[in-house]
Structure 1
Amino acid sequence: MAHNHDHRPPADLGPAFRWAVGLNSAYVVVEGFAGWITGSLALLADAAHNLTDVAGLLIAWGAAVLAKRAMTARHTWGLGRATILAALLNAIAILVGVGAVTWEAIDRLSDPVSVPGLTVMLVALIGIAVNAGSALLFMSARKGDLNARGAFLHMAADAAVSGTVVLAAGGILLTGWDWLDPAVAIAVSLLIAITAAGLFREALHLSLDGVPFEIDRNKIAAWLAVQEGVQSLHDLHIWPLSTTETALAVHLVWDGSDPDAFIDQVTDALADDYAIAHVTLQLERHPCERATG
Structure 2
Amino acid sequence: MGTGHAHDHSSGHGHSPGHGHAHGHGVSADADRRWLSIALALILGFMGVEVVVGVLAGSLALLSDAAHMLTDAAAIVLALIAMRLAARPPRGGYTFGLKRAEILSAQANGITLLLLAAWLGYESVRRLLHPEAVAGGAVLFTALAGIAVNLAATWCLSRANRTNLNVEGAFQHILNDLFAFIATAVAGLVVLLTGFDRADGIASLIVVALMVKAGVSLLGASGRILLEAAPAGVDPDALGAELACTPGVVEVHDLHVWQVTSSYPALSAHILVQPGGDCHAVRRAVEHLLHERHHIDHTTLQVDHTDEHETPAAISTAHCADPHGATYRPA
Choose which of 100, 103, 109 in structure 2 pairs with 1:81.
100
Report what 1:201 is aligned to.
220
The Cα shift of 1:141 comes to 5.5
The Cα shift of 1:165 comes to 0.3
The Cα shift of 1:157 comes to 0.5
In the TM superposition, 1:176-215 aligns within 5 A as 176-215=195-234
| Stretches of structure 2 lacking an aligned partner (at least 5 in a row) | 1-7, 307-315, 326-331
The Cα shift of 1:123 comes to 1.0
More displaced 10-residue stretch of structure 1: 188-197 or 213-222:
213-222
Sort the Cα spacing of 1:109 and 1:59 in 2 relative to 1 into closer, same or farther, 3 A. Answer: same
Report what 1:266 is aligned to.
286
> In structure 1, what residue type is equivalent to 2:260?
L
Separation (CA, whole Å) in 2 of partners of 1:258 and 1:136? 52
More displaced 10-residue stretch of structure 1: 167-176 or 107-116:
107-116
Sort the Cα spacing of 1:15 and 1:272 in 2 relative to 1 into closer, same or farther, 3 A. Answer: farther
More displaced 10-residue stretch of structure 1: 102-111 or 210-219:
210-219
Report what 2:313 is aligned to.
none
1:14 aligns with 2:48: no
Report what 1:218 is aligned to.
237
TM-score norm. by structure 2 comes to: 0.82
Q: Output one character per residue of 1:103-144: Cα deviation in whole Å (capped at 9) or x when no partner.
A: 111112222222221211111112112223222333366663
- Structure of higher CA gyration radius: 2
Q: Residue 52 of structure 1 contacts residue 93 of structure 1 at CA under 8 Å; is this kept in 2?
A: yes
Report what 1:5 is aligned to.
14
1:246 aligns with 2:265: yes
Report what 1:292 is aligned to.
324
In the TM superposition, 1:86-235 aligns within 5 A as 86-139=105-158, 144-235=163-254
Which secondary structure state, in structure 2, belongs to the residue aligned with residue 77 of structure 1?
coil
Report what 2:64 is aligned to.
45
Separation (CA, whole Å) in 2 of partners of 1:244 and 1:233? 25
Q: Residue 136 of structure 1 contacts residue 152 of structure 1 at CA under 8 Å; is this kept in 2?
A: no
Q: Residue 246 of structure 2 contacts residue 285 of structure 2 at CA under 8 Å; is this kept in 1?
A: no
Q: Residue 100 of structure 2 contacts residue 261 of structure 2 at CA under 8 Å; is this kept in 1?
A: yes
Identity of aligned residues (%): 32
Give aligned pairs, total: 293
Separation (CA, whole Å) in 2 of partners of 1:277 and 1:68? 19
What is the CA RMSD across the aligned residues, in angstroms?
2.1
More displaced 10-residue stretch of structure 1: 253-262 or 198-207:
253-262
Separation (CA, whole Å) in 2 of partners of 1:244 and 1:48? 30
Q: Residue 35 of structure 2 contacts residue 159 of structure 2 at CA under 8 Å; is this kept in 1?
A: no
Structure with higher RCO (Cα < 8 A, 6+ apart): 2
Which secondary structure state, in structure 2, belongs to the residue aligned with residue 241 of structure 1?
strand
Which secondary structure state, in structure 2, belongs to the residue aligned with residue 219 of structure 1?
helix
The Cα shift of 1:58 comes to 0.6
> In structure 2, what residue type is equivalent to 1:282?
Q
Sort the Cα spacing of 1:64 and 1:271 in 2 relative to 1 into closer, same or farther, 3 A. Answer: farther
1:282 aligns with 2:302: yes
